[in-house]
Amino acid sequence: MSALKFVLRHTPPSAVDVSGLRPALLAGKSRKEITKLPLTGWNEIHRVGDLFSIRGDDAQRVVVDGADERLLRIGAGMEGGELTVVGTAGDYLGESMRSGTIVVRGDVGTFVGAGMRGGRIDVSGNAGAFAGSGRAGTLQGMAGGAIVVRGNAGDRAGDRMRRGLLLIEGNAGDYCASRMLAGTAVVLGRVGIDAGYLMRRGTLILGRSPAELLPTFNHNGWHDLLAIRLLLESLTVYGKRFQSFARSRPSLSRWLGDLGCDGKGEILIAPGRP
Amino acid sequence: MSLREATCAFCGLLCDDLEVEVAGGVLRVVRGGCARSEAAFAALGEPAAPPPRIAGQAATLDAAVAAAADVLRAARRPLIGGLDVDVNGMRSTLALARRIGAVVDHADGAAKYRNLHVLQEFGGITTTFAEARNRADLVVLVGDGWSRRFPRFLERIVAPGASGAATAARRIVTVTAIDPATRMALPKGAEVLALDAPLVGLPAVCTMLQALVEGRPVQPARLAGVSQEALVRCAEWIRAARYGVVVWSAADLDWPHAELTVQAIARLVRTLNGSTRFAALPLAGTDGDLTANAVQTWQSGVPLPASYANGSVDFDPNRYALRDVLARGEADALVWVSSLSGAVPPPASGVPTIALTRADVRLGMAPSVQIPVATPGIDASGHLLRSDKVITLRLPRLRENGLPSASTVLDALLGQLEQRC
Amino acid sequence: MLTRFVGARVIDPVHATPDAVRDLYVRDGRIVSGPRDGEPVHRTWDAAGAIAMAGAIDLHTHIGGGKVNIARGLLPELGREHPLAATEVCGACTMGPAPSTLATGYRYAAMGYTACFEPAMLPVNARQAHMEMGDTPIVDKGAYAMLGNDDFLLRLLADGADRREIRDYVAWTLHATQAIAIKVVNAGGISAFKFNQRSLDVDEAHVHYGVTPRTILRELARAVHDLGVPHPLHVHSSNLGVPGNVDSTLATIDAAEGLPIHLTHLQFHSYGTEGDRRFSSAAARIAEKVNASPNVSVDVGQIMFGQTVTASGDSMLQYRNARHGRPAKWVVMDIECDAGCGVVPFRYRDRDFVNALQWAIGLELFLLIRDPWRVFLTTDHPNGGPFTSYPHLIKLLMDGSFRKDVLARINPEAAAMTALGSLEREYSLQEIAIMTRAAPARILGLEDHGHLGAGAAANIVIYEPHPDPEVMFATPRWVFKDGELVAERGEVKAVPQGAIHTVKPDFDRGIERRLKTWFEQHHTQSLASFKIDDEEVCECGRAPRLAVHACRARSS
């Protein structure tokens, strides 16, 4: 059996919700049935076969090839299986997923992994704003699983994050880990302004010193605690850059805050170039 | 010439104590005016009923409505924006949106969403004008919109002696730097504390105040640009207030993610209510933003921006914001409804555009169809929600110019679309 | 045009033969006794074997006004999870915990309801309330104006004002806001909260005005009675949701001094403090008092398990209870020297001790209060649960074994503390018809609603009998509103606009002089802006007509 592959024929005129192309919903369906599945755009219902040419047959391994930013909610609600995206994915990739793996060879839009509960998302390129956050109106962001962004993430990465791992190899935008509730976010590159704003709990690890920290974070000394070392060690499975970061055994500068919001969060900063 | 009592529709305060002189249909505010209302009334000019235009050419109303219906019939993904309208204008807008599966947003959606976002992801403790007027012993003013955008706010709500109920002298805090003229306008006799923080420093000022009020071990000196002493005093005043009110206009907080700052303010207010009474009084309601959102929310159950695509309603500020939808090139027609101030013209979009505007609005580029409509509170009666979101006021008509209301035009347009299907 | 309904078993408690198979005739939206000489029947509906009842009336449902709209805006993530798709006649909308106005009209009508009453209209917010009700299609509407926390009345009472003045003010409010009744919410407490008073018992003095809730209740009950307003003072008692509030509820009944009062969402006010958790049912004590007090009517405010949102004028208690809310976001407002509001989402869980006991207490009240003319079926929508759960609630009342099955599944500690298991009473169809039709019409003074006699509005519901009452009541075969078919088997067929119901008691307009001065000194709108006239309310409320019900003034 070969991976079930959907190759985008043409850019649709408006954004299309393609959350239907996930393993659990495709399993056991014939090619003909899959061809006829509806995908919702703006006042138009596309048939899968109209938007995509289809190859392969293994619904546990789905590939969306030639993806476009108008493809929304790829892999949303995934409950197992593998999904590979080649190209640029739209907003809400992996929203509310519970398990399984999504690999993106390219960039993703905003709200990647919004409200996800488990599983893993690995993005080779950049992610838009609100990576690992939650939909407008919800009180919690991602609550489990792992998101790895090999490139840069936009503003508000880890906003309202509740549990799980958000790993960014490149830079993150402004207000990183805003309103964070728990969990761990790591940014090996630079962060923008006001990291940790309204952070209540949780851990933000920065590979480089930010230009400025909010005045409502207090310095708590330098740490090489066992707990932190174990945490860093656990990151080594997420690729070489996290391996080398963990194995450099950095002594981390610990800042506690946001004291304007309960103040039980921590920002751990590795020494090095700002 | 005659004198008429009027309710001013040109900012969210909706002052209902205006006296307007009507001479040959020209309106002049003679009592209860402010810089904003006087200019807005003066700008209305003589009553005129210019003809609707189809691609720039004068046409009858029937022909224009028919042409607009043709535009919408040919469109698959219509966007409705502007929404500078009264209640009935919005009711008709939504009936049309449901019929054509439109995405709908207010022209100034971004500013509105700063406050709405905090309601949805935190909540709030708020108050209204008469409560503030009668009870506030401390008024914390953020930004300068309370003066610049809502010119009579101080006079009507904050000036001490305005009512018999608040006995003690009022304290006033100005959090951000304001110009000397604005400072001069603060009520005499009030005890004033000026923090003079730079507007962009506001996010950290708000969390620092929260930390000080809660007695956390922070060093206010680390907050650049603000006097440590003033910050500490401000926290003391806030804690000592029996009924404190914090005032801002979300339009002032015009930087990315400013909603986080609003959340910090809302959080401070919630904390203070553990021991005393404190409430937020955000100022808004100008250009129909609160009205449009309220009608959308009650009719559909979700706020703006919203999509009525595929016979279903959905809310998503991340996807349906007017400017984003246009920038993504998804919409293939634009309906622009703007009957109140006419300050914001339809954005250049490159798609067929139907514009319902005030009679005096001249558009740079001729839209597919332009239909002049009556201005609520001027050429037609109407209803608007006031800034504090509780009071809806009736705007009586002040003059006659024969223009149809936005609601009438939209209903006719809907009728056309339903007829031929 | 004469329409005939043939063969239905007509359950119509108001009339001499309350349960009989008979034909119904409708002409021009009204029920008539039969054809005139030689008058042809234009249309016949074959209802053989079916059950006919008058359209149901919900006398306490939060369907319009600012606080409901705050609830909608607060919970968009729940609204968008429950879309109602557009149909031929219905517009796209949502049915979240605080449903949209469109969904409210559609779903009420599809369930056989033809009139709904918003019980907590803030006078300063009356226009918006009427607008929201105007956008609630199909059903008739009316609203109760809230008094008793407004600074004007508290000042009058503090100054020892003359009863005539209070009566005139109450009547003026009914006129100015286009209301059908008066409600008091946590008498004095909402105002006291503005002065940082955190609780207020029935005989405790308001910290600023020095007035007690007892005085406010007595004076308002008297004013409403003297004006001859059909619906008695609608009372949301003090200490909502507080363990041990049974005492203040009993004191509230006494405060009426024998005058008619209606106690609303009584379930939330029937709590004791027994047991390890200091939370227990006081339903038996309350029911005993209600049974012995013919001046008292009640609605229950049953809670139903699941997610909902509470929207109340009671800012004092909503603030206090907010920490129990889920999801944890909430709004509290002080409003315009008039009242307040609090919006707190709740998720009632059957495995939770407190929630499970609240559920049992509501059912105990239903079963222990004997007279179905004085106890009404409500969930205080949406506060105890959505109105769409009424068919399930009816099943709980009609089917004792089903009730016991559910009781066996709730938190066992709570199950052990309720007498529910020993209550064998099962409501009859006749009793359900009384509590959902005949009695609410009577207590609101709606002469032409709640029954199927000649002259009544042709609001007719045709049910198919089913062994499961929940099935029967959830999707009636046909629902007629003023003679027009509006819903069939749960599907909306037509979307007419309903009337607005009001009362307009006589009063001395001299009160406006004092009010005008008050408005100028304290308010931020003029007296003229505040008042809503008949033409305006019909425009705001999109009402084809204003139904003004008679008041018979009584002297005292």
B335/B354 Cα distance (integer angstroms): 5
DSSP B157: I
Closest among A58, A77, A65, A68 to A20, alpha carbons compared: A77
ipTM of this predicted structure: 0.98
CA A164 to chain centre: 10
- Return all residues near B45 (Cβ < 8 A) that are at least 6 apart: B26, B360
Give the Å distances, CA to CA, from B77 to A47, B297, B325.
18, 22, 10
Neighbours of C323 (CB within 10 A): 9
- Nearest Cα neighbor of B385 from B286, B309, B310 is B286
Q: How far apart are CA C54 and CA C5, in angstroms?
A: 13
SS3 category, B20: strand
Neighboring chain A residues of B267 at a CB cutoff of 8 Å: 198, 260-261
Question: Residue C425 and residue C73: Cα distance in Å, rounded?
Answer: 41
DSSP letters, C319-349, are: HHHGGG-SSS-EEEEEETTTEEEEEEEEEE-
**Among candidate residues B401, B332, B350, the one with its CA nearest the CA of residue B101:** B332
Q: Report how far residue B377's alpha carbon sits from residue B9's, in angstroms, rounded to the nearest whole number.
A: 6
Q: C524, B392: Cβ pair inside 8 Å?
A: no
Domains of chain A: which residue ranges? 110-269
Q: Which residues of chain B have pLDDT under 50?
A: 162-165, 167, 421
Distance CA B122, CA B261 (A): 12
The predicted structure's pLDDT at residue B111: 85
Give the range of the structural domain holding residue B148, as residue numbers without chain letter.
126-272
- What is the pLDDT, as a whole number, of residue B112? 81
- Which residue in chain C has the smallest CA separation from A140? C327
Same domain for B130 and B263, yes or no, is yes
Q: In angstroms, rounded to a whole number, what is the distance separating the alpha carbons of residues C491 and B12? A: 41
The answer, for C521 touching chain B at a CB cutoff of 8 Å, is yes
CB contact under 8 A, C91 and B276: no
- The segments of chain A whose pLDDT lies below 50 read 274
Contacts of C305 (CB under 8 A, 6+ apart): C348, C349, C350, C355, C359, C385
Residue B384 is given by DSSP the state: E
* Side-chain-facing half-sphere of C89: CA atoms under 13 Å: 15
Q: Give the residue among B389, B292, B416, B411 at the shortest CA–CA distance from B13.
A: B389
SS3 A149: strand
Both tokens of residue B37? 């209302």
pLDDT digit string, tens, across residues A60-103: 999 999 999 999 999 999 999 999 999 999 999 999 999 999 99
Question: Which residues lie across from B57 on neighbouring strands?
Answer: B54
Largest CA distance in chain A: 63
- List beta partners, residue C9: C21, C51
pLDDT of residue B164: 47
> B79 and B186 share a domain?
no
Q: What is the DSSP letter of B220?
A: G
Q: Are residues B291 and B233 in the same domain?
A: no
- Chain B residue numbers touching A44 (CB-CB < 8 A): 76
- Which pLDDT belongs to residue C556? 57
C-beta separation of B226 from B285 below 8 A: no
Give the per-residue pLDDT at A112.
98
Same domain, B291 and B260: no
Of the residues C77, C80, C81, C330, the best mutation for testing chain A's interface (the one with the most A CB atoms within 10 Å of its CB) is C77
Whether residues B100 and B194 fall in one domain = no
Assigned token pair, C134: 């105007």
Subunits in contact with chain B (3 or more CB pairs closer than 8 Å)? A, C
Per the structure, how many domains does chain B have? Answer: 2
Contact B149, B178 (CB under 8 A): no
The CATH number of residue B367's host domain is 3.40.50.740
Identify the residue among C497, C524, C527 best suited for mutation to test binding to B, counting B beta carbons within 10 A and taking the highest. Answer: C524
**pLDDT at residue A272, rounded to an integer:** 67
- pLDDT value of position B396: 96
Alpha-carbon distance of B305 to C407, in angstroms, equals 44
Which residues does residue B357 pair with via DSSP β-bridges, in sequence order? Answer: B372
Whole-angstrom distance, CA of residue A173 vs CA of residue A159: 12
Residue type at B314? D
Helix ranges restricted to H, chain A: 23-26, 31-36, 48-51, 226-234, 240-247
What's the pLDDT tens digit per position in B237-274? Answer: 999 999 999 999 999 999 999 999 999 999 999 999 99
Q: β-pairing, C140-146 with C181-185?
A: parallel
Q: Any idea what the Cα angle at residue B354 is, between residues B352 and B357, rounded to 5°? A: 145
Q: What are phi and psi of A231, to 5 degrees?
A: -60, -45
Average pLDDT over residues C127-156: 98
Q: Do both B372 and B258 map to the same domain?
A: no
Q: Identify the domain boundary among B210, B244, B272.
A: B272
For residue A274, the model assigns a pLDDT of 46
The CA distances from residue A201 to A235, B150, C20, in Å, are 20, 39, 68
Chain segment C482-539, per-residue pLDDT in tens = 999 999 999 999 999 999 999 999 999 999 999 999 999 999 999 999 999 999 999 9
Final residue belonging to a domain, choices B272, B301, B334:
B272
Residues of B in contact with A138 (CB under 8 A): 121
CB contact set of A240 (below 8 Å; sequence gap of 6+): none
Distances (CA, A) of C54 to C377, C381, C459, C495, C548: 15, 21, 6, 19, 21
User: Measured between alpha carbons, how far apart are the two ends of chain A, in Å?
Assistant: 50
Q: Are residues B73 and B198 in the same domain?
A: no
Residue B266 shares a structural domain with residue B359: no
The answer to whether residue B373 is domain-embedded is yes
Closest to B260 (Cβ–Cβ): which among A70, A136, A175? A175
Cis peptide leading into B404, omega within 30 of 0?
Answer: no
Q: Mark which of B212, B241, B272 sits at the end of a domain.
A: B272
Examine the domain organization and report whether B355 and B251 are in the same domain: no
Quick: pLDDT tens for C318-356.
999 999 999 999 999 999 999 999 999 999 999 999 999
Q: Which two tokens stand for residue C276?
A: 């390890």
| Residue A81, token pair as written in the block | 């299986």
Alpha-carbon Rg for chain A, nearest whole angstrom, is 19
Q: Starting at the earlier edge strand, list the strands of the sheet with B18-23.
A: B2-6, B18-23, B26-31
The domain defined by C53-492 folds into TIM Barrel (3.20.20)
Report the residue from C70, C132, C334 with minimal CB separation from B279.
C334
**Which residues of B are less than 8 Å from C197 in CB distance?**
none
- Give the length of chain C: 556
Question: Could you identify the residue written with the tokens 């907010």?
Answer: C322
- Measured between beta carbons, which residues in chain C are less than 8 angstroms from residue B131? 194, 334-337
Query: For residue range C186-239, what is the model confidence (pLDDT) as tens digits?
Result: 999 999 999 999 999 999 999 999 999 999 999 999 999 999 999 999 999 999
Which of A135, A136, A139 has its CB closest to that of C327?
Answer: A139
DSSP annotation of B380: B
Per-domain residue ranges of chain C: 53-492
Q: To the nearest whole angstrom, how far is the Cα of C359 from the nearest Cα of chain A?
A: 28
C-beta separation of B332 from B17 below 8 A? no
Candidates B210, B257, B332; nearest CB to A156: B257
End-to-end CA distance of chain B: 49
The whole-angstrom separation of Cα A209 and Cα C396 is 63
Same domain, B244 and B298: no
Pair (B133, B184) in one structural domain: yes
Taking the CA of residue C428 and the nearest CA in chain A, the distance in Å comes to 44
What's the pLDDT score for residue B383?
A: 98
CA gap C65, B410 in Å, rounded: 26
Quote the CA–CA distance of C33 and C26 in Å, as a whole number. Answer: 8
**What is the CATH classification number for the domain harbouring B193?**
3.40.228.10
**How many C-beta atoms surround the C-beta of residue C164 within 10 A?**
14
Sequential DSSP letters for B322-355: HHHHHHTT--SEEEEEE-S---SPPPP-SS-EEE
Sheet holding B191-197, edge to edge: B191-197, B171-176, B138-141, B243-249, B277-283, B123-126, C330-335, C339-348, C306-312
